[in-house]
Amino acid sequence: MPRYHPIEPAQLEWDDTTPQSREHGDIYFSRDGGVEETHHVFLNSNDLPQRWQQRDSFTIAETGFGTGLNFLCAVDLWLKTAPRDARLHFVSVEKHPLTHHDLQRALSSWPQFNAISTQLIDVYPPLVFGLHRRELFDGRITLTLLFGDATEILSELHAGIDAWFLDGFAPSKNPQMWSEALFKQITRLTKTGGTFATFTAAGIVRRGLKEAGFTVETVPGFGRKRDMLRGKLAHKSPAKSKQPWFEYPAVNVTEKRAIVIGGGLAGTTVSHSLARRGWHVTLIERHEELAQEASGNHSGVILPRLTADMGCDGQFYLSAFLHTVQWLNELKKRDETLPWFASGVLQLEDEKRMAQLQRLSLPKEIVEFCDTARTSELSGITVESGGLFFPMAGWAEPPALCRWLSGDQRNNINTIMHQEALRLERVNGEWQAFNTEGNVITAAPVAIVANGYDAERLLGNDTMTLQKVRGQIAYTPATPQSSQLKTPICYDGYLIPAHKGLHCTGATYDVNNESTEIKKEDQTQIIKALRDTLPAFDAQSPSGGRTAFRTSTQDHLPIIGPAPDLDFYREHYHDLHHGKPAHRYPVAQYQPNLFVTTGHGSRGLVTCPMAANIIAAALNGETLPLPSDLLDGVHPARLMVRNLKRKP
């Protein structure tokens, strides 16, 4: 797994509007005409746009995003020539991304692409290691930016590439990138029949790609370059999997119809994600309204959960957070009534932990380290300790968000309320959902289980070790003084700015307690924690509260992905503890077209949109929106595999 590390932005030297890399002493695009060069080298030499004419999706990958010029040219051509409802996926890896400022400066050279560059600048991610997926032009274009070293980060990518733009500085000036290991990854990720094109004709590249399985052709280069290379992967031998038990299935659906079970955040986000891609979804909810259980709180905070080592959990939560806020911001542009408030969030921390997190060198757009004066200034009330401020973070109203999501796609989402799906059965290539009376509620080729704790029963899978954790929150009436609070504040509880006259504050964390009542002692405990932490805040006695049960997991990560075929796992992976090489094991098998999203704990607002995106991408054969080590970390079979690896 590539280790998380801070990303160093590109160090540029500008020759008027043309940037040059200080590190490599090489240019980003030809001085003889950058746009013409891209057309000649990358688009024409990959036979574009001819190859995407009959396709409903097409995937390009690039080494070296740089200024994004190749991206602009490809998108421009796609918008002019591809079918209206087809999607272009553009994946690009970049070790030293341009800062926002430099990107803007570079893109200003091409006013003809203004419509595209404005959107690109708008969605360009903060410079954080890992994978960032963005949608442009209402979903017609998906951009996946991978910030990190090409070979390292491509080894964690799950994608099927149709055409490669092999950019990156000249092999003589950047020999580290053009390696055998990179060529191997390129082959692994390319579909049979996929192609590449590159500006260079260097022997090391020609030989390397040939050895990796491509046919390679030398053709006339652009401008002063005599030659360049292009080629094709005509045959492909199956790649060895590093962890066959976590390999995602190749989904083959001819009809875009799905059942989603559960009308909370997990279910409504996945329904929305599928419906946006043209799927017809039937959403089944046992209550009379959406979001009546864990997603029913009046307001909830959206912030990342950083860890000092930024291992799997820290990286997952940061990626999910970045995805969610970006997604909500985009939705809010379409409808300003969306119940999402990008106020920033303050998290009070002690100095030791702040010092640990400071070592992550995250950009200021993600986190600011604050003293007491600054925490008070940002929150609008007197705060007596320092902490972290997450400027992109905020809060939302989960039930209203669930309703908004199903309403936004009402043509494609049919909600069936007040019906409990108790059993799923596969009959003639469809999943049938049965209700409490044993009658079929509905049927579809694909099913997604998103019903919290009950997912175990519905899937007949007790290996996920889901836990029900009781949580109580209190609602306190807002006063003129308390309404000064501008941002949520998190401590060992949390307090949210006034919404509809109430502050939401919480929460208790109670394992092995099934009580649904609102307990007086819990209310007292919540208010005491609030008053102890923020004595200057005008905390009124609660006027109400709410109790719900979060679904949590042993390792505090959600469960997202395809539902394993447990018999297959037991039969084929029972001796994992012997430590045989991974390639001796067969690739995992799953229950056909059955996916799960659950175990989101108290962080569903952060993690459900990412889960929805993973599942929808897998069902549509798209590049998956997380690197595989993080997908493995939330895989539905991970706990089972962990147990099988342990000596009996």
- Contacting positions for ligand SAM (CB under 6 A): 10, 28-29, 62, 64-70, 93-96, 149-150, 167-169, 174, 176-177
Q: Which residue's CB is nearer to ligand SAM, number 199 or number 573?
A: 199
Measure the CA–CA gap between 451 and 260, rounded to whole angstroms.
9
The contacts of residue 148 (CB under 8 Å, 6+ apart) are 2, 5, 7, 93, 95, 129, 130
Closest contact distance (angstroms) between CB of 92 and ligand SAM is 7
Q: Which residue's CB is nearer to ligand SAM, number 169 or number 279?
A: 169
Closest contact distance (angstroms) between CB of 227 and ligand SAM is 17
Q: Which residue's CB is nearer to ligand SAM, number 152 or number 293?
A: 152
Q: Which residue's CB is nearer to ligand SAM, number 29 or number 431?
A: 29
Closest contact distance (angstroms) between CB of 61 and ligand SAM is 12
Q: Which residue's CB is nearer to ligand SAM, number 18 or number 479?
A: 18
Residue 265 and residue 450 in contact, taking contact as beta carbons nearer than 8 Å: no
The contacts of residue 434 (CB under 8 Å, 6+ apart) are 421, 422, 423, 424, 425, 440, 441
Closest contact distance (angstroms) between CB of 167 and ligand SAM is 4
State how beta strands 423-427 and 430-434 pair. Answer: antiparallel
Closest contact distance (angstroms) between CB of 31 and ligand SAM is 12
DSSP helix/strand/coil, 593: strand
Residue 170 and residue 26 in contact, taking contact as beta carbons nearer than 8 Å: yes
Closest contact distance (angstroms) between CB of 42 and ligand SAM is 8
Q: Which residue's CB is nearer to ligand SAM, number 10 or number 348?
A: 10
Element (H, E) at 98: none
Q: Which residue's CB is nearer to ligand SAM, number 10 or number 626?
A: 10
Measure the CA–CA gap between 63 and 177, rounded to whole angstroms.
9
Measure the CA–CA gap between 294 and 469, rounded to whole angstroms.
10
Q: Where are the alpha helices (DSSP H) in 149-193?
A: 150-154, 180-189
Give the residue closest to ligand SAM by C-beta. 64
Q: Give me the residues paired with residue 238 across strands.
A: none
Q: Which residue's CB is nearer to ligand SAM, number 99 or number 372?
A: 99
Q: Where are the alpha helices (DSSP H) in 306-437?
A: 312-334, 351-358, 372-379, 398-408
Closest contact distance (angstroms) between CB of 63 and ligand SAM is 6
Residue with tokens 């959206």: 302
Residue 569 and residue 499 in contact, taking contact as beta carbons nearer than 8 Å: no
For 149, the token pair is: 């070293």
Closest contact distance (angstroms) between CB of 120 and ligand SAM is 11
CA atoms within 13 A on the CB side of 456: 12
Q: Which residue's CB is nearer to ligand SAM, number 144 or number 271?
A: 144
Q: Where are the alpha helices (DSSP H) in 215-286?
A: 265-276
- If you ran DSSP here, which 8-state letter would residue 551 be given? E
